[in-house]
Structure 1
């Protein structure tokens, strides 16, 4: 199908344990032999600050950003996930990443697997390599005083990133684009696995879909208090591809059917046939049919 299909959903992916089958922070730390030190940092620092500090320690030991990138090239990414991404894009879906990983890790993995060009955007913790060659990772929402943080009271959201706030922005942009184009907002499909994926699930509306990974924390939260969106779980990456593409195909088919119904309604409007209308009478014949004046004698 052409990549401009109006019925294709907007698909938003979490990254860790959804696109890749690991936690990318732990994957890098373990691969570089720093697991014990990272665990020690986590005793004193929030996760996002701890991974930044860990990158600083590794840099001080002579580890480079390219060493980190090399670790990420080995991170497990199922061919079923890659195929699902390519197939959803080919069907006309816009794809995005919404993740509590970081931009450097995500970009490295997607580029290695040739998938970067399929995504229209990524919302995640910013990261960059500074002039000294040290990888810096910052929180998406600054939360150290006097920064206000994200303001979400949901306990499943970590302090550095509320995915629900990001999802609200995505949905608002979708609604504004739909209003400008005088069309219905696209259906949104969200895939995730962790506690942080619960808040964005709650922002979805009826008609949208959330795809939680079976057996992972988000499933328990959804089971306890379901969102308005339809829940379509997946268990394993072959199942992810099957469920996701099933939703995409069903939404495209529904849009096509609605367009067909609208076209049929327009076609079935009864237009009077001019040939069936009475023709105007000639002037003399019309005059002959009019009542004649009564003559009155003088």
Structure 2
């Protein structure tokens, strides 16, 4: 039986990187603008379909795989994230997963750009690929009907808990799970955490607002069991890890 580790689970957009990668590539459109008919595809539960239409539009206007790569490579890491990944790199105390509603092409491109692929144990996101004509296509990670907090294509809490369960079956247990995110869809995995874990909402973003609201109401419901650790920089997370790691 292997020893216990610390699991770092991170969102990607506005967490690892300081942009929304899906929206960032819109600058590849003519004049950086989408036509109104494509904007009409947007809905909270139809993000994959919306992005599919954007990718078709960009393809029609001559955007090639290398154009995506060049565009994505200009996105900066969030402040302090380079320090965080450098701190955990090569250590067998940690496992690191990314759980994101972006897509595999975008995340792989950016991780490769910053030399982070070897530091991340696994990426859970919507599968994407370029077809034989160079059109970027995207699919649902899964189709779920059990979580009203999540979109139909991605329940982050389910993914996180399944990963923990699978690792346990292989003899790896986690003394602490640190979930780091910013968006509304990061609340679900936060609610799945235990008392020894940490939910880290990025200050000023929607997860932070939701957590603050929930904490005021939580005297009765006790739905949030994890310790709350707001962050502004990846350096804050390094400080947390130093405090809790043996």
- The residue that corresponds to 1:262 in the other structure is none
Which residue in the other structure is 2:220 paired with?
none
Query: 1:204-215 to 2 correspondence within 5 Å?
Result: 204-215=193-204
TM-score (norm 1): 0.72
Is contact 1:38–1:51 with CA below 8 Å preserved after alignment? no
| CA positional deviation for 1:193 | 0.2
String of CA shifts for 1:140-168, please: whole Å, max 9, x gaps: 12xxxxxxx311342x4222211111112
- What's the CA shift for 1:79? 5.9
Structure 2: give runs of 5+ residues left out of the alignment. 216-223
Distance in 1 (alpha carbons) for counterparts of 2:32 and 2:141: 24
Larger-gyration structure (1/2) = 1
SS in 2 for 1:187: strand
Matched position secondary structure for 1:37: coil
Structure 1 counterpart SS, 2:89: helix
Asked if 1:63 is matched to 2:52, the reply is no
Once the two structures are superposed, residues 25-83 of structure 1 have per-residue CA deviations (whole angstroms, 9 ceiling, x without a partner) of 11011244475426642423522111112111211222111111110000121462112
1:43 to 40, 45, 51: 40
Take 2:33 and 2:62, find their aligned partners in 1: how far apart are those partners?
Answer: 18
The alignment's C-alpha RMSD in Å is 2.1
- Within 1, Cα distance between the matches of 2:124 and 2:31? 27
Query: 2:188 corresponds to which residue?
Result: 199
Quickly say closer, same or farther: Cα 1:7–1:153, change in 2 above 3 A: closer
Q: Provide, for residues 195-217 of structure 1, a one-character-per-residue CA deviation record: whole Å limited to 9, x for no partner.
A: 00000111111101111001111
2:194–2:226 CA contact under 8 A, matched in 1:
yes
- Whole-angstrom distance in 2 between the partners of 1:97 and 1:38: 32
- The 3-state SS of whatever aligns with 1:20 is coil
Q: 1:151 aligns with which of 136, 145, 149?
A: 145
- 1:146 match: none
Residue matched to 1:224: 213
Structure 1 or 2: more strand by fraction: 2
Q: Which has the higher contact order (CA 8 A, sep 6+)?
A: 2
Structure 2 residue corresponding to 1:167, chosen from 156, 160, 167: 160
Contact 1:82 1:115 in 2 (8 A): no
TM-score (norm 2): 0.86
| Unaligned residue ranges in structure 1 (runs of 5+) | 142-148, 254-298
Matches within 5 A, 1:57-206: 57-78=57-78, 80-91=80-91, 92-141=93-142, 149-154=143-148, 156-177=149-170, 180=171, 185-206=174-195
Kept after mapping to 2: 8 A contact 1:9/1:251: no
Contact kept? 2:41, 2:49, Cα under 8 Å? no
Partners in 1 of 2:241 and 2:3 — Cα distance? Answer: 11
Which residue of 2 is the match for residue 22 of structure 1? 19
